[in-house]
Amino acid sequence: MIFRCQVDNQLYEIKLEWHDEQCHATLRDQDFLVEILDHRPGQIDLRVQDHSIRLYWAEQNGRTWISYKGCTYIVDKPVNRPSNKRSEKSGENIVRAPMPAQVRAVEIMEQAQAIKGQTIMLLEAMKMEIRITAPIDGQVTRIYVQPGQRVDQGQLLFELNSSVS
Amino acid sequence: MVDRIRKILIANRGEIAIRIIRACRELGIASIAVYSDVDATALHVRLADESVAIGPPEASESYLNAPRIIQAALDREAQAIHPGYGFLSENADFADQVSQAGLIFIGPSADAIQAMGNKAEARRRVSTIDVPVIEGYSGQDDYDSIQNAAIRIGYPLLVKAAAGGGGKGMRVVWESSNLHEAIDTARREAKHAFGDDRLILERYLPDAHHIEFQVLADQYGNFVHLFERECSVQRRHQKIIEETPSPLLDESLRSEMGTAALNVASAVGYTNAGTVEFIVDPQHRSFFFLEMNTRLQVEHPITELVTGLDLVQWQIRIAADERLPFNQDQLSQRGHAIECRLYAEDPANNFLPASGPILSFTEPQGPGIRVDSGFGSGDDITLYYDPLIAKVIAYGEDRLSAIRRLQAALRDTVLLGIPNNVAFLLDILSDDAFLQAKIHTGWVEQNFADWHSTGCETPAEVLIAAGLISTQNNLDRPLEQDRSGKDPFSPWKLPNYFRNGVGS
């Protein structure tokens, strides 16, 4: 079988062929002889080309987290190539919450002009204050949240229009 | 032995609650956990002998809800309350209310907390005894007064919450143009974290060491110190790595500072465990009193490892009126201990706290390794509280062997599902300057400011394992074929063996 995955935005393709208890894995024209030594939920011990190794893993929402020799890797299913259609809201004009947090204060009104680096809002998480600043000079066209509101990571906070001079 | 105390309510959560539960067990004392709504099935609740719900997730409604916690202790017939660190641990009113309710507060007297808890008051008290205090200002804290004091002290300086701790409500100011904003931010954080927005100023020594002394005092006037902890490896004023002995101190400076720590403690009639913090100027080998923490510290385990004493047990025994059976001359440091803090925070996202489920947590083990953790596989880290997941502590015969042990332990730590700082800690621990102990409180920020994980090529082994895991999870054709294979003991034939029990 062919297994495709994505780690750190890099696509990989592995061919796995079983012969009794052994598996031949092929990755980028390189062959590996693999044997499963032990396995239990969240743990797999392998022998790969004569080297015994232990990996820990967990899964959530289609992602597999793998820990190997002190490093953690997040293995995702390959995503389809993004469409060429330019996303309607690109880049730095929109600002999203960097983490789940509570909005403590919004320090600007809609339609106001903001300069790059100006504090637009204050978020709070775990008693730390997080200052959200304007990434560019521009007009604040839209504010999506209000003080006291809880926001998720990646949630839209506000939008700037850079074309205003 | 500790007849006066048969049951303790622990007014805390996470690793420190569990640490206290363990001490209770060893002393034959029952433990009561308290929990907020999001912590109903938390590890500290599962491990305690009893548990009591105390309110909504917001700390102000639960872990800071003094009347509710005291009532819970009375209802469950506890004799004492252990506050842990953070939350109500340095709240003099709480200590007072606990005593008023006829319960024992496991910590110093409300008066001592009052005297030391407020940094402005502590500075005043300590400046009257023969202990040097860092230059600073603790008067009126309106803009004008602070500005004038800042001109007198000079930059850089530190704006600090008078009631503060743990790096909250604290800002370094390098030039006068940033003072105003630092005051505003520090005040807001202080108000929110401690319900007290008073500020003080301190001269900031960028290349200084942060070295603290553990003290222990019984209720009969016996004071000892348990030597120092070197806490200079900090990020945003949060300690990341602590060790003891400090590579900076020699015997004479150690003894001088230890005596100063005892003088500070006895000046306020201190009882129980406490920590006197100093700033040490390595050039002049001079030290200044910074503050006293009137509680157990996060980093107390390293002191336990080199002195052989159990600090939490001694807190309880002192509270139960026992006398310290040893004096200063009978105490010594043996070997070297080092601790690092595993935080749920995302190094790729400016180290912001992370929340979510821990899909898998395997703690390191082995000779000289101790792990104090508050969570296990399947537990949630919420954004309501501190993002500390666990402390990994290593003990060795000398500094280098302790560091090597800690490095190996971190490489053996499996923490999946939540962003964390393990890779960052490993990079610090293997840095040449750290290995040579050339560190100071500004060192991490100066050298690791734009740290990011060295993105290495994904090893073939990981991809192969991912392929094997995925194959088996999908239970598709290859498995069916294999199930009919010759070997009846083939692992692939066991139904469901490869499901992850967590979160699926």
CA distance B226 to B276: 11
pLDDT of residue B12 exceeding 90, the answer is yes
Determine the residue of chain A that is closest to B493 in CA distance.
Answer: A21
Sequence spans of domains, chain B = 2-106, 135-203, 205-334, 342-479
* Min distance B119 CA to chain A CA atoms (Å): 20
Phi, psi of A126 (to 5 degrees): 50, 45
> A24, A42, A76 — which closes off a domain?
A76
pLDDT score at B2 = 56
Please report, for chain B, how many H helices and E strands are present, in that order. Answer: 17, 23
B211: buried, middle or exposed (CB in 10 Å: 19+, 13-18, 0-12)? buried
Contact yes or no for A126 and B468 at CB 8 A? no
Q: B 159-178 residues with CB below 8 A of A?
A: 168
Who wins on pLDDT, A152 or B240? B240
What per-residue confidence (pLDDT) applies to B360? 95
Our CA-based measurement puts residue A160 at a distance from the nearest CA of chain B, in whole angstroms, of 22
A98 part of a folded domain? yes
In this complex, is the C-beta atom of B355 within 8 Å of any C-beta atom belonging to chain A?
yes
Tell me what pLDDT residue A83 has.
43
User: Is A165 part of a structural domain of the chain?
Assistant: no
Q: For residues B124-159, b (16+ Cβ closer than 10 Å) or e, as one string?
A: ebbeeeebebbebbbeebeeeebeebbeebeeebbb
Mean pLDDT of B394-409: 98
Torsion angle of alpha carbons B426, B428, B430, B434, nearest 10°? -150
Average confidence (pLDDT) over A4-28: 89
Range 423-452 of B in CB contact (< 8 A) with A? 423, 426
Identify the residue whose tokens are 């080998």. B285
What tokens appear for A36 in the block? 């499963």
Return d(Cα B481, Cα B91) in angstroms, integer: 66
- Same-domain check for residues A93 and A152: yes
Query: What pTM was computed for the model?
Result: 0.82
Among A41, A48, A67, the residue with its CB nearest the CB of B464 is: A48
- Residues B225, B220, B69, A150, Cα dihedral to 10°: -20
Mean pLDDT on A112-118? 89
d(CA B45, CA B438): 42
d(CA B73, CA B450): 47
Model confidence at A96, pLDDT cuts 50, 70, 90, reads confident
Q: Which residue of A has its CA nearest to B193?
A: A127
Question: Which pLDDT belongs to residue A98?
Answer: 78
Tell me, yes or no, if the two domains B205-334 and B342-479 fold the same way. Answer: yes
How close, in Å, is residue B367 to chain A by CA atoms? Answer: 19
| Residue B41 scores a pLDDT above 70 | yes
Q: What is the mean pLDDT of residues B19-28?
A: 98
Q: What is the C-alpha to C-alpha distance for residues B52 and B78, in angstroms, rounded to an integer?
A: 12
Same domain, A60 and A90: no
| Residue B498 predicted with pLDDT over 50 | no
Q: How confident is the model at residue B497 (pLDDT cuts 50, 70, 90)?
A: very low
> Model confidence over B294-314: pLDDT tens digits?
999 999 999 999 999 999 999
Q: Which residues pair with A124 in a beta bridge?
A: A102, A129
Task: Estimate to the nearest angstrom the gap between the alpha carbon of B150 and the chain centroid.
Answer: 31
Cis amide linkage into residue A100, ω under 30° from 0: no
AA identity, residue A116:
K
Span B309-345, pLDDT tens digits = 999 999 999 999 999 999 999 999 999 999 999 999 9
Structure tokens at B374: 């508050």
CATH class, B205-334 region: alpha beta
- Residues within 8 A of B (CB atoms), A 101-160 only: 101, 104, 122, 124-131
Q: Do A41 and B500 make contact, defined as CB atoms within 8 angstroms? A: yes
Determine which helix (DSSP H) or strand (DSSP E) holds A72, and give its type and residue range.
strand A71-76
DSSP H or E segment with residue B472: helix B460-474
CB contact under 8 A, B360 and A56: yes
Mean of all residue pLDDT scores within chain A: 85
Nearest to B59 by CA among B35, B76, B80: B35
Q: Does B473 touch chain A (CB under 8 A)?
A: yes
Question: Mean of the pLDDT values across residues B202-231?
Answer: 96
- Does residue B494 carry a pLDDT above 90? no
Q: Which chain A positions have a beta carbon within 8 Å of B386's beta carbon?
A: 126-127
pLDDT for residue B484 is more than 50: no
Helix or strand holding residue B372 (H, E): strand B369-373
CA closest to B467 among chain A residues:
A3
- Rounded to an integer, what distance in angstroms lies between the CA atom of residue B378 and that of residue B372? 17
B479 interfaces chain A, CB cutoff of 8 Å: no
Query: Do residues A72 and A107 share a domain?
Result: no
Q: What is the pLDDT of residue B221?
A: 96
Residues ≥6 apart with Cβ < 8 Å to B501: A41, A42
Whether residue A23 is found in the same domain as residue A70? yes
How many whole angstroms separate alpha carbon B378 and alpha carbon B365? 20
Task: Count CB neighbours of A152 within 10 A.
Answer: 11
Using the predicted structure, report yes or no on whether residue A88 has a pLDDT greater than 60: no
Q: Which CATH number do you get for residue A113?
A: 2.40.50.100
- Put simply, the answer to whether B349 touches A99 (Cβ < 8 Å) is yes
pLDDT bracket for residue B283 (50, 70, 90): very high
Given a cut of 70, is residue B286 above it in pLDDT? yes
So what's the pLDDT on residue A101?
84
Looking at the fold, whether A70 and A96 belong to one and the same domain comes out as no
3-state helix, strand, coil in chain B (%, to 5): 35, 25, 40
Q: Do residues A65 and A111 both lie within one domain?
A: no
**Could you tell me if A96 lies within 8 Å of chain B, comparing CB atoms?**
no
Q: In this complex, which of B355, B385, B492 lies closest to A100 when CB atoms are compared? A: B355
Task: Name the more confident of A118 and B347.
Answer: A118
Same domain, A72 and A116: no
In terms of domains, do A57 and A91 share one?
Answer: no
Q: What string of DSSP letters covers B230-281? A: EEEEEETTEEEEEEES-TT--HHHHHHHHHHHHHHHHHTT--EEEEEEEEEE
The more confident residue out of B489 and B115 is: B115
Report strand pairing: A63-68 vs A51-60.
antiparallel
In a domain, A22, yes or no: yes
Instruction: Retrieve residue A136's tokens.
Output: 């560019």
Least confident span in B43-52, B76-85, B233-242, B476-485: B476-485
pLDDT in tens, B247-259: 999 999 999 999 9
Classify domain B2-106 at the CATH topology level: Rossmann fold (3.40.50)
Q: How buried is B5 (Cβ within 10 angstroms: 0-12 exposed, 13-18 middle, 19+ buried)?
A: buried
Residues A43 and A107 in one domain: no
Residue that terminates a domain, selected from A24, A55, A76: A76
Type and span of the H or E element at A37: strand A30-40
At B502 the pLDDT is 43
Average pLDDT, chain B: 91
Within a domain: residue A12?
yes
Per the structure, the count of domains in chain A is 2
Domain co-membership, A70 together with A12: yes
Q: Do B192 and A3 touch (CB under 8 A)?
A: no
Note the pLDDT tens digit of each residue in A42-60.
999 999 999 999 999 999 8
% pLDDT > 70, chain A: 88
Cβ contacts from A onto B, under 8 A: 189
Pair (A30, A92) in one structural domain:
no
For the residues A82-111, what does the mean pLDDT come to? Answer: 72
Question: CATH no. for residue A30?
Answer: 3.30.700.30
For the domain spanning B342-479, the CATH number is: 3.30.470.20
**Cross-chain residue pair B464–A34, CB shorter than 8 Å:** yes
pLDDT (tens digit, 9 = 90+) per residue, B429-477?
999 999 999 999 999 999 998 887 776 679 999 999 999 888 766 433 3
* Residues near A2 by beta carbon (within 8 Å), at least 6 away in sequence: A13, A14, A15, A16
Instruction: Report the distance separating Cα B366 and Cα A155, nearest Å.
Output: 43
Domain interval for residue A97: 86-160
Q: Taking the CA atoms of chain A, what radius of gyration do you get in angstroms?
A: 23
Q: Is A94 helix (H, G, I), strand (E, B) or coil?
A: strand
Report how far apart, in Å, the C-alpha atoms of B35 and of each of A116, B45, B57, B61, B458 are. Answer: 43, 7, 9, 11, 41
Residue B76 to residue B397: CA distance in whole angstroms? 45
Last residue in a domain, options A76, A105, A120: A76
Q: Are B249 and B278 in contact (CB under 8 A)?
A: no
More confident residue, B264 or B455: B264
Q: What is the pLDDT of residue A62?
A: 83
With CB atoms and an 8 Å threshold, state whether B422 touches A40: no
Q: Are residues A47 and A100 in the same domain?
A: no
The CATH classification of domain B135-203, taken from the options 3.40.50.300, 3.10.129.10, 3.50.50.60, 3.30.1490.20: 3.30.1490.20
pLDDT for B381 beyond 90: yes
Q: At residue A141, does pLDDT exceed 80?
A: yes
